[in-house]
Amino acid sequence: MAEVDKQLILESVGPVQAILDAHDGVVNVVDTTDGVIMISLEGGCTGCASTPMTAMQI
């Protein structure tokens, strides 16, 4: 299976990006091997109780 373009993933964050910006959150694409997208939420997202929900919205 082909790798997914990391830049395309970041561009597709869409409306969630505004929320991340307001809270100084950062999305990092960790890996896209075998079509499985692994992200990490950092910055203002670190330690936030809403991080799992934000990740699901992405």
Distance CA 34, CA 5 (A): 12
Q: Let me know if residue 17 belongs to a domain.
A: yes
- How many helices (H) and strands (E) the chain has is answered by 3, 2
What's residue 34's pLDDT? Answer: 84
pLDDT of residue 3: 64
Region for 29 from its dihedrals, namely left if φ exceeds 0, alpha if ψ lies in -120 to 50, beta otherwise: beta
Q: Is residue 1 part of a domain?
A: no
Q: Is residue 38 part of a domain?
A: yes
pTM, to two decimals:
0.72
Q: What is the pLDDT of residue 24?
A: 93
Consecutive 10-residue runs of the chain (58 residues): their mean pLDDT? 75 84 90 87 92 88
Count of domains observed in the chain: 1
16 part of a folded domain: yes
Determine the pLDDT at residue 1: 55
Q: What integer pLDDT is reported at residue 58 of this predicted model?
A: 81
